């Protein structure tokens, strides 16, 4: 079992924005962060995260909790499994009781070092790497390696008693008759998690007979190529410092760009940019530059990426003449790269430009199709962005701006106005922030005293402080708690109002006899007088 002290230490050091940012794309919303809820389908963000309070709440579906609760729900894990997952994400070393010591062989780190040593021993492959312009310093920095004969990987795994783990992690493959190396005769590019642990590999073929030029590790418990970016662990410091991230298409592009001084460069892992990459790309809210090759495939990939990144700062840089970033660095065109990166084409403009170029604008029917497709994209944006790009689209199509209609998006408040009672919410928020106020409130109020938020008060009375309803109120910055003296005054005023309402209802209570009604009237009037006397003291 995980030691209790270790769990508490992990909790004390958790940054909920950091943890949730590995799963969903968070945007700053005042002192909080917002996102579209991952637990139900929505287009308008109603999911709020409070870094100060360490909790999240969805005002749409009611989901809420801390970082551990999120990981449990999102990954469908037990509490212990979620703790271990968070520890792996943050690089935290858990301690365990003697009942169970967790096996942590760090096999991928070990075999990465093994492949690295094999590369340093191969003059032939070192010469090949050098011919590509990669320096010895980069070989060390990126821990490049060599997977030679297939039996070497199998032997290494067996030496470390880790054959089954190597198969599970995708280093080795297995069919009915044999176990084999997935990466034989390949230059190896270790792929690291954001916190610097090896989680997989990319392999470039060194022999012409290999079927695929590049292959990646298969999906595993630690490797998901749609959520990882090559060299992010090395680039993140520069990304945060420069508030900019540059995305290229390949491993060697990244290495050569770093070598040329562009330390904030990463790459996707042989796949197109997807929405699963957005949480990692959005960390630190940097400007995002998509720097792809100028061939047909590169432009197509940049077009798809731009649609995904339309509401982000940054844009697209296309390297013309069939060159990629690595070629330009080798050719000594470093200053030219720097100038290109200073003037990216904004994502929205790039999408509109590429969309329109696919049509013959001299043909009215083609022009109409271009307008329709452009509007479909434009309507995915906010009304403000639609308005800003309205004139540009009209100019591109050579039509009147009046033909470009803006589509309004529906907005939703955090708490529906139909069920808001600000006075009650302020009292509940005050108790949530200072639990010592609950005893005072219970002296004067019960759940029936609340016209709208009686359920929340019942939760407070039962001590269910982590209930999603209370978390939603806790992180709602529009509701400000009261000072103790103002809180007590507000409680008394609500109590008087409550008793006055009850007095009005007594004559219409069919289940009460005459004497019972008289007794209740006396009781409520006595309570009102007592509270009014306290107000004047």
- Show pLDDT as tens, one digit a residue, over the chain (537 residues): 888 888 988 888 888 998 998 899 888 888 888 999 999 888 888 899 998 888 999 988 888 999 999 999 998 888 988 998 898 888 788 888 754 444 455 899 999 999 999 999 999 999 999 999 999 999 999 999 999 888 999 999 999 999 999 999 999 999 878 899 999 899 999 999 888 889 999 999 987 666 788 999 998 888 888 889 999 999 999 999 999 999 999 999 999 999 999 999 999 997 789 888 988 898 888 999 999 988 888 899 999 999 999 999 999 999 887 788 999 999 999 999 999 999 999 999 999 999 999 999 999 999 999 999 999 999 999 889 999 999 999 999 999 999 998 887 554 445 544 446 888 899 999 999 999 999 999 989 888 888 888 888 999 988 888 888 888 888 888 788 899 999 999 999 998 998 888 888 888 877 878 888 888 888 888 888 888 888 776
* One domain for residues 210 and 129: yes
* One domain for residues 423 and 485: yes
3-state helix, strand and coil shares in percent for the chain, rounded to the nearest 5: 50, 15, 35
Cβ neighbour number for residue 477 with a 10 Å cutoff: 13
* One domain for residues 245 and 175: no
Would 222 be classed as within a structural domain? no
CATH code of the domain containing 76: 3.90.580.10
Burial of residue 422 (number of CB atoms within 10 Å: 0-12, 13-18, 19+): exposed
3-state secondary structure 284-337: CCCEEEEEEECCHHHHHHHHHHHHHCCCCCEEEEEECCCCCHHHHHHCCCHHHH
Secondary structure letter of residue 211 according to DSSP: S
**CA nearest neighbour of 420 among 472, 466, 494:** 472
Would 63 be classed as within a structural domain? yes
Would 102 be classed as within a structural domain? no
Q: What is the pTM of this model?
A: 0.72
* Cα angle value 471/474/478 (rounded, 5°): 130
CATH code of the domain containing 264: 3.40.1360.10
CATH code of the domain containing 130: 3.90.980.10
Q: Which of 165, 185, 216 is the last residue of a domain?
A: 216
Q: Which of 216, 248, 263 is the last residue of a domain?
A: 216
Residue 246 in contact with residue 257, Cβ under 8 Å?
yes
Residue 96 in contact with residue 3, Cβ under 8 Å?
yes
Would 100 be classed as within a structural domain? no
3-state secondary structure 512-537: CCHHHHHHHHHHHHHHHHHHHHHHHC
| Angle of the 347-357 helix axis to the 383-397 helix axis, nearest 10 | 40
* One domain for residues 117 and 176: yes
Non-local CB neighbours of 38 within 8 Å, separated by 6+ positions:
23, 24, 47, 74
Would 223 be classed as within a structural domain? no
Residue 476 in contact with residue 429, Cβ under 8 Å?
yes
Would 30 be classed as within a structural domain? yes
* One domain for residues 424 and 530: yes
Would 98 be classed as within a structural domain? no
3-state secondary structure 343-405: CCECHHHHHHHHHHHCCCCCCHHHHHHHHHHHHHHHCCCCHHHHHHHHHHHHHHHCCCHHHCC
* One domain for residues 496 and 454: yes
Residue 151 in contact with residue 135, Cβ under 8 Å?
no
CATH code of the domain containing 422: 1.10.860.10
Range of the domain at 123: 107-216
The number of domains in the chain is: 5
């Amino acid at each position: 079992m995980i030691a209790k002290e270790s769990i508490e230490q992990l909790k004390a050091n958790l940054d909920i924005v950091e943890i949730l940012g590995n799963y969903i794309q968070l945007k700053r919303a005042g002192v909080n962060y917002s996102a579209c809820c991952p637990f139900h389908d929505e287009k308008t963000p109603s999911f709020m995260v409070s870094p100060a309070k360490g909790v999240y709440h969805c005002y749409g579906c009611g989901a809420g909790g801390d970082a551990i609760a999120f990981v449990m729900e999102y990954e469908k894990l037990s509490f212990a499994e979620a703790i271990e997952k968070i520890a792996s994400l943050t690089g935290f070393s858990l301690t365990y009781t003697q009942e169970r010591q967790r096996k942590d062989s760090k096999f991928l780190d070990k075999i990465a070092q093994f492949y690295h040593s094999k590369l340093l021993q191969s003059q032939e492959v070192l010469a090949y790497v050098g011919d590509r312009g990669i320096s010895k310093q980069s070989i060390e920095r990126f821990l490049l390696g060599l997977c030679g004969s297939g039996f070497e990987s199998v032997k290494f795994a067996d030496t470390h008693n880790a054959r089954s783990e190597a198969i599970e992690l995708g280093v080795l493959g297995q069919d009915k008759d044999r176990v084999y190396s997935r990466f034989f005769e390949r230059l190896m590019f270790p792929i690291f998690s954001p916190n610097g642990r090896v989680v997989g590999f990319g392999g470039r073929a060194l022999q012409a007979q290999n079927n695929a030029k590049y292959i990646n590790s298969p999906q595993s418990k630690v490797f998901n190529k749609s959520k990882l970016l090559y060299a992010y662990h090395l680039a993140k410091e520069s990304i945060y410092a420069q508030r900019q991230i540059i995305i290229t298409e390949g491993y060697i592009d990244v290495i050569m760009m770093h070598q040329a001084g562009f330390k904030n460069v990463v790459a996707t892992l042989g796949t197109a940019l997807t929405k699963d990459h957005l949480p990692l790309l959005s960390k630190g809210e940097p400007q995002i530059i998509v720097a792809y090759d100028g061939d047909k495939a590169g432009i197509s990939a940049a077009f798809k990426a731009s649609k995904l990144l339309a509401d982000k700062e940054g844009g697209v840089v296309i390297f013309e003449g069939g060159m990629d970033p690595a070629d330009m660095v080798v050719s000594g065109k470093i200053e030219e790269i720097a100038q290109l990166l200073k003037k990216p084409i904004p994502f929205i403009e790039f999408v509109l430009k590429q969309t329109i170029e696919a049509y013959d604008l001299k043909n009215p029917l083609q022009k109409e199709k271009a307008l329709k497709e452009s509007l479909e994209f434009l309507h995915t944006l906010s009304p403000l962005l639609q308005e800003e790009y309205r004139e540009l689209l009209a100019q591109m199509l050579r039509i009147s701006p009046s033909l470009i209609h803006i589509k309004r998006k529906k907005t939703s408040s955090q708490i529906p106005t139909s069920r808001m009672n600000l006075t009650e919410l302020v009292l509940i928020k005050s108790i949530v922030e200072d639990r010592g106020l609950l005893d005072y409130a219970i002296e004067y109020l019960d759940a029936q005293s609340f016209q709208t938020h009686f359920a929340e008060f019942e939760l407070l009375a039962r001590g269910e402080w982590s209930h999603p309803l209370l978390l939603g109120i806790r992180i709602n910055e529009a509701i400000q708690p009261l000072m103790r003296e103002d809180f007590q005054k507000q409680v008394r005023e609500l109590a008087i109002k409550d008793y006055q309402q009850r007095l009005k209802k007594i004559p219409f209570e069919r289940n009460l006899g005459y004497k019972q009604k008289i007794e209740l009237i006396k009781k409520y009037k006595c309570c009102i007088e007592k509270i009014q006397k306290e107000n004047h003291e």
